[in-house]
Amino acid sequence: MASTDTTPEPPAQSRHVIVVPPEVPMVGLLGARDELLRVLERAFTRTDVLVRGNEITVTGAPGEVALLERLVDQMTAVLRSGQPLSPDAVERSVAMLRAQAAGTADDRPADVLTMNILSSRGRTIRPKTVNQKHYVDAIDSHTVVFGIGPAGTGKTYLAMAKAVQALQAKQVNRIVLTRPAVEAGERLGFLPGTLTDKIDPYLRPLYDALHDMLDPDSIPRLMAAGTIEVAPLAYMRGRTLNDAFIILDEAQNTSPEQMKMFLTRLGFGSKIVVTGDVTQVDLPSGTESGLRVVRDILEGIEDVHFSRLTSSDVVRHRLVGEIVDAYGRWEEARPRVTAPHSARKR
């Protein structure tokens, strides 16, 4: 009886030579001391990459070879735009292309990484992920935008950059930045010092972002003229804001009533961006977050957009994304405690 060989055949291998155009410097593509080449090798562990001159020979599974070829094409496009590549940009490009291959995204990495929002003080502010680009695009095309996501996803920073861009392009006459001073329970009178001393700690992150985007010497002048206003949310009551770019930061710490009050400040020629993280609510127990319920209330209203950012959009240290995911798993696993009806009514 003839024996049957059940040894699996080795997977099909594909080999392709990528010729890098002569105007693209190989050191820009591979990185100083080949640091970007090391990123490629870590991202494509089952693919052999050999560089000789301006030729990159790739051998491996056909799908991986095709993906790496597209990656090199996108990296080349970024370099041609005049923007240097970093290990983080290459890693994010790999993630974008894998999402494309899985059918969950259709944005080209080069389109994301070369989108300039604002150039200031020798640096350019750009989105770094697909979701960040969608968020920035939504701010351009909608009057009211909610940017919801964990810490480090750039939701406030990108909104600030768009506000400064709109002011410089004379699309608005002023910028209004606000956040709830919930850590003080909005009872600022009990804190020591002048009113400015009391509210500054809660508004400091907004000042810090402004200093990144504008000449620091110009900020006091712009604030004195009312062109830029930074104030606690409580100061918005009773106002109508026309021709303004208005940002509400830390919106998870608003009540539904405060959220309604803020959104109805919208005047003619204005734009509103609301940012927050629904997993970090600091409101007193039994108080519902206005950011958590606003989507149910405004869903379906034209010109209102909700952008969701996730741990994959975190642009801080790599560990921040992992910490966000770990806390998310912990929150899902713990038993949910519902506040008594009487507490919710207070």
User: What pLDDT, in 10s, does the model give residues 250-301?
Assistant: 999 999 999 999 999 999 999 999 999 998 898 888 889 999 999 999 989 9
Residue 103: pLDDT band by 50, 70, 90 thresholds? confident
pTM: 0.81
Starting at the earlier edge strand, list the strands of the sheet with 174-179. Answer: 228-232, 174-179, 244-248, 271-276, 144-148, 304-308
Over residues 145-175, the pLDDT tens digits come to 999 999 889 999 999 999 999 999 999 999 9
H runs (alpha helix) in the chain: 26-30, 35-43, 62-80, 87-101, 109-113, 130-141, 155-168, 195-213, 218-224, 256-263, 290-298, 318-333, 341-345
Structure tokens at 36: 């970007």
Residue 75 has pLDDT above 90, yes or no: yes
User: Helix, strand, coil % (nearest 5) of the chain?
Assistant: 45, 15, 35
Q: How far is CA 83 from CA 64, 118, 139, 183, 191, in A?
A: 26, 14, 24, 41, 47
Pick 230 or 247 by higher pLDDT: 247
**pLDDT at position 336, please?**
58
Tell me, what amino acid is at 69? E
Residue 197: pLDDT band by 50, 70, 90 thresholds? low
**pLDDT at position 342, please?**
41
For residues 173 and 268, what is the distance between their CA atoms, to the nearest angstrom? Answer: 12
